[in-house]
Amino acid sequence: MIRLYRILPLLVLMAVVAGVVYVIMSFRYSSDRAKATLITVFTWLTIVLSVVFALGTLYALFEQNNTVIELAGSCLATTLVGLGVTRLCNRIFKKNHPHYGEEVAQATIINDSISSRFADAFKQAFGQAMKDTFDPRHKR
């Protein structure tokens, strides 16, 4: 229980970061994009924090500082569990959204737009009459 109390600031910080990233991304884009971004951010965040706490634990081990070993080791365990949970969330997200992140295919136009079809029909029906009307060389 004491170790949980020691890592509580780290857990609160990670929860705040998750909340802010998710709210901003879901407001600005979509909830799926927010989830994908959150997974990416937490993957990198937990990897970096794991490396930092691993180095801190190793340094404390060489210095034989048991208090720092316990604190850094607890934080290292927390970030490694967080990394595992993040990767599990990524697997579930990819399973539920298999086509997310793929390039969107460009649409091909099969038929012209309705306005261009009307313009072509108008030119075909009244083209010669319009040329004769507005031709300055045509004398009346």
The reply to whether 62 falls in a domain is yes
- Determine the pLDDT at residue 1: 56
Q: In 3-state terms, what secondary structure has residue 74?
A: helix
Q: How many domains does the chain have?
A: 1
pLDDT in tens, 54-68: 999 999 999 888 888
Spell out the residues 6+ positions from residue 94 whose beta carbon is closer than 8 angstroms to its own: 100
The reply to whether 119 falls in a domain is no
CB 38 within 8 A of CB 18: yes
**If you average pLDDT over residues 19-36, what whole number do you get?**
87
The reply to whether 112 falls in a domain is no
The reply to whether 29 falls in a domain is yes
The reply to whether 101 falls in a domain is no
The reply to whether 137 falls in a domain is no
User: Which residue segment(s) compose the domain that 71 sits in?
Assistant: 2-96
Radius of gyration of the chain (CA): 32
The reply to whether 81 falls in a domain is yes
Report d(CA 116, CA 109) in Å as an integer: 13
